[in-house]
Amino acid sequence: MAERRVTIGWAEGLHARPASIFVRAATAAGVPITIAKGDGTPVNAASMLAVLGLGAQGGEEVVLASDTDDAEVALDRLAKLVAEGLEELPETV
Catalytic residues: 15
The 8-class DSSP code of residue 73 comes to H
The 8-class DSSP code of residue 34 comes to E
Q: Among residues 52, 64, 43, which one has the least CA distance to residue 21?
A: 52
Amino acid residing at 19: A
